[in-house]
Amino acid sequence: MLDRNELFIDGNWAPPSSGEYGDVIEAATEKVLGRSAMAGTADIDAAVAAARAALDGPWGSMSRAERADVLDRFAAAMTARARDTAELVSRENGMPISLAKPTNGYGPAAMLSYYAGLIRAAEDEEVRPGALGGRTVVRSEPVGVVAAITPWNYPQPLAAMKIAPALAAGCTVVLKPAPETALDAFVFADAAQEAGLPAGVLNVVPGGREAGAHLVEHSGVDKVAFTGSTAAGRAIGEVCGRLLRPVTLELGGKSAAIVADDADLDVFAGHLLEVSLVNNGQTCHASTRILAPRSRYGEVVDAVTETVRALRVGDPLDKTTAIGPLVSAAQRDRVLGHIGAGRADGYQITTGGGVPGDLPQGWFVEPTVFVGVDNSASIAQEEIFGPVLTITEYSDIDDAVRIANDSVYGLGGTVWTTDEGRGLELARRIRTGTVGVNHYALELTAPFGGVKASGLGRELGPEGLAPYLAPKSVYFATR
Ligand code: NAD
């Protein structure tokens, strides 16, 4: 019933010319949830050609206000599907439904409406007086055809973070979602059709690594927007460097939660799930390295251990579930491998550490806490992407900042203190793209992205629109 046997290219549904299909497996049952068409290189070529034609055709000639109206209709069509989409993604990747509703369910519509509002309020052209006479008309033009490549962990909002600003800017899009979550990607196509997006403005072509690589290299693509692993991001960045093709890269993370000596541990424990273990730990910005002051180390270990032990692990469709299964057997095995490496290094586990005995089906891993971890350990340096936390002791606040910054990544992070001024001061000292003070939540109106191996560029906020606009200066001799 959930099968999607056709790709969405140029406003039409058609079977893949590759003849390839892939099964999407339900994370909690390990059973086939549905089959998806998988794009081959010829399908990618057709999608890029359609996006180019739409850019040069009806979409390119629309005013900002007209595009904004289309985006609002697109948002309404996504909202109408939000509950079903949330459930579908939970079944695909194991995300607890309580999280899937606001993120995969209602997130895309919020982004489409936000960017519709931003462009409606802005002008395409600005006249600037010249410094020595004359004037310049500075135009904001769409950058062109966008290749959007997304992972499986938050498939809907991560795609919308690219689609919404790209379409608002007047670009057209080829979306290549991850095969693990191919089914939900077609919701964008259904909603785009209902909203009356002109043919070719948005094309949906799930596929594997090869399809993604072909899209990145394609001569018809003007910009690449990627979210995924640092390894894939590096490979894509290298290609875009050679081609001088603009690229945004949202990659991995290994963020720190600095618990200051004046922190309210009830507040910290109350937010631990959403900050450090959100989406079963399959979240790039999660604060998975907990840094505890020596003076309160035991208290922090107890608070974290008790909180994590009490988390309800189980069916992702049950709204009381805190931790669902991981996305795949491969992901579960990778996470168990990291836990094994922590054990082999001699680190103690206070709760979790394996597969829950009462859940024989589904790719579950117990939420796990390692204590007394040196920040140089592999479990403190490598992104685990599962429900695994480490607790590391620090001597004073300078030591905490040093440890937080001792990472190849720089994406998220949190500071926990009863003094917000101190929180901001600490946030300024962490080399990262985003920091939460006594909580962590992405904000639609503010830029999100990383430094160091966590990526290049920003999404969300007005900063997330800028990469899809190319400024053009038109000089006039007269004022
Ligand atoms: P992945 O990098 O393996 O795959 C992501 C997407 O890229 C998939 O669609 C895949 O098919 C495609 N892909 C892979 N290699 C490619 C290549 N060489 N050329 C073109 N496309 C390619 O990542 P994953 O395992 O699916 O996702 C998990 C990773 O994503 C984690 O490392 C996580 O931290 C990261 N992530 C980052 C953010 C962020 O905003 N910074 C958000 C979510 C996830």
In the chain, what are the domain boundaries? 7-251+454-475, 256-437
Pick out the chain residues at pLDDT < 70: 1
Q: Which of 26, 250, 393, 459 is catalytic?
A: 250
List the 125-129 sheet strands across, edge first.
Answer: 125-129, 135-142, 469-476
Please tell me the distance from the alpha carbon of residue 156 to that of residue 150, in angstroms, as a whole number.
9
Beta strands 455-456 and 368-371 are unpaired
- Angle, CA 23 vertex, CA 19 and CA 24 arms, to 5°: 135
Query: Cα(341)–Cα(129) distance, rounded to whole angstroms?
Result: 63
Three-state secondary-structure class, residue 140: strand
Probe residue for ligand 1, chosen from 209, 278, 280 as the CB with the greatest number of ligand atoms within 8 Å: 209
Say how far apart CA 39 and CA 19 lie, in whole Å: 8
Helix/strand/coil percentages in the chain, nearest 5: 40, 20, 35
Closest C-alpha to 99, from 223, 273, 291: 273
Q: Smallest Cα–Cα separation from 158: which of 449, 420, 451?
A: 449
Q: Residue 43's pLDDT is what?
A: 98
Ligand 1 atom at minimum distance from 152 CA: 26
Backbone angles phi, psi at 242, to 5 degrees: -65, -40
Q: Determine the pLDDT at residue 479.
A: 81
Q: Ligand 1: which atom is nearest the Cα of residue 231?
A: 2
What pLDDT was estimated at residue 139?
A: 97
Run of H or E including 184: helix 182-195
Task: Quickly list DSSP for 266-285.
Answer: HHHHHHHHHHHSGGGG--TT
DSSP letter (8 states) at residue 346? T
Give the β-pairing of 287-293 and 388-394: parallel
Query: What confidence score (pLDDT) does residue 1 get?
Result: 53
Q: Which residue's CA is the closest to the ligand 1 atom numbered 26?
A: 151
Ligand 1 pocket test, candidate residues 176, 183, 227, 229, most atoms within 8 A of CB: 229
| pLDDT at residue 211, as a whole number | 98
Residues in the chain: 479
Tokens of 154: 């938050």
Phi, psi of 41 (to 5 degrees): -65, -35
Ligand 1 centre and the CA of 111: distance in Å?
21
C-alpha triplet 171, 200, 250: angle, nearest 5°: 45
**DSSP designation for 354:** S
User: Is there a catalytic annotation at residue 250?
Assistant: yes
Classify domain 256-437 by CATH number.
Answer: 3.40.309.10
CATH number of 7-251+454-475: 3.40.605.10
**Alpha carbon 98 to chain centroid distance?**
18
Binding pocket residue ranges, ligand 1, CB within 6 Å: 149-154, 158, 176, 178, 208-209, 212-213, 216, 227-229, 232, 235-236, 250-253, 284, 383, 385, 411, 450, 455
pLDDT score recorded for residue 60:
87
Residue of the nearest CA to atom 39 in ligand 1? 250
153 C-alpha to ligand 1 centroid (Å): 9
Atom number of ligand 1 nearest to Cα 250: 41
Kindly give, in sequence order, each residue whose CB lies less than 8 Å from that of residue 160, ignoring residues fewer than 6 positions away.
Answer: 107, 108, 111, 112
d(CA 139, CA 127): 9
Q: How far is the CA of 149 from the centre of ligand 1 (A)?
A: 8
